[in-house]
A and B are shown apart, each in its own frame.
Chain A
Amino acid sequence: MPHDHPEHSHTGMSPSGHPYRADNDEPLSYWQTMEIAMRELLIEKGETTAEEIARQIEAMDARSPADGAAVVARAWSDPAFKSRLLADAGAASREMGFDIGALQLIAVENTADTHNVVVCTLCSCYPRNLLGLPPDWYKSRAYRSRVVKTPRAVLREFGLDLPEDVTVRVHDSTADMRYIVLPARPEGTEGLDESALAELVSRDSMIGTGVPRTPE
């Protein structure tokens, strides 16, 4: 608690008792300098414009797990779409109108006896063009190194305790493919339409570190 220690000096602390974040006055790193130089050159040479770059950043930031959730909900509702999704998840997502660029996507299906979970041990590969930016923990060394060796222990930390008779399949995104988990449709959702179903699909359920919410 911030105010448990009245004798403690709050000099330099925020009203909530936490240190203020330092200004980033340190010099640019090599890569930051290179990015700025490259961007300015591309603009100077007329290859792109500052406005176009800003629009692209906005487009990337606008992508969110809701896009993936819509794809999952469609697969739950439409068996023919689900077959197409499992055959080529990129094509199925484009068919729904999602502009996912050159993304090569594989959907892996959770069933009563199989649970899938996705990682990138080498860096931070993630289906950003469909799900938006990955959570910070996805890029952490702890998640990347542990989920390939002790996936059950890691999933328990996420609150998911899988029975012994369920096979765990870990998918390491080592090269050109990206992965989305098609979670199992929760029970008690028979009457729900696609948009109500999509509300149940969490980001973590599409990474495999969670399962969909159940209806209230």
Chain B
Amino acid sequence: MAERVRVKAMMPPGHVRTPAYLRGKTGVIERRLGAFGNPEELAYGRKADRRELLRVRFDMAEVWGEDAERPGDTLDAEIFAHWLEKAD
């Protein structure tokens, strides 16, 4: 079973690599990529801790609702674990 996750719908200021159009959207983990320096710290020249990065696959209907061209088409994005919460 694919693990379902939701992108946190928060809007913090600063250099964030989580696109706004995916916040609050639910998808499945496509693959785990390992740990990478946290861009939210790196962007300011701070010592960055390493955070787990995942590829999450979203259905276009989940992202765009009725505006989706074709439900079943997908959007994959890399999202850091601290932006994800479990979804049921």
Instruction: Please list the residues of chain A having a beta carbon within 8 angstroms of any beta carbon in chain B.
Output: 104, 121-122, 148-153, 164, 167-177
Contacts and interface: CB of A to CB of B under 8 A. Distances in A.
B18 A174 contact: yes
A164 B33 contact: no
15 contacts: A121-B19, A148-B21, A148-B75, A149-B67, A150-B69, A151-B69, A164-B70, A169-B75, A170-B73, A172-B77, A174-B19, A175-B17, A175-B53, A176-B53, A176-B78
B78 A167 contact: no
| Closest A-B pairs by Cβ, 10 of them | A175-B78, A168-B73, A172-B77, A174-B77, A176-B36, A174-B78, A170-B75, A175-B17, A169-B74, A171-B76
Interface of B: 17-19, 21, 33, 36, 39, 53, 55, 57, 63-64, 67, 69-70, 72-80
A144 to B, nearest CB: 10
Contacts of B74: 167-170
A167 B72 CA distance: 7
Given A172-B19, A175-B17, A152 B69 contact: yes
B63 to A, nearest CB: 8
B21 A121 contact: yes
B39 to A, nearest CB: 7
Q: Is the interface of A mostly helix, strand, loop or mixed?
A: loop
Nearest to A104: B33
Contact of A173 (B53, B69, B78): B78
Contact of B73 (A151, A174, A177): A151
A150 B60 CA distance: 9
A85 to B, nearest CB: 15
A81 to B, nearest CB: 21
B76 A169 contact: yes
A153 B60 CA distance: 14
B7 to A, nearest CB: 11
Given A164-B70, A168-B73, 17 more contacts: A148-B21, A148-B75, A149-B69, A153-B69, A167-B72, A168-B74, A170-B73, A170-B74, A172-B19, A172-B75, A172-B76, A172-B77, A174-B17, A174-B78, A174-B79, A175-B36, A177-B33
Given A174-B78, A175-B80, A167 B73 contact: yes
B12 to A, nearest CB: 15
B69 to A, nearest CB: 5
A149 B63 CA distance: 9
B2 to A, nearest CB: 15
Nearest to A116: B76
A148 to B, nearest CB: 6
B21 A122 contact: no
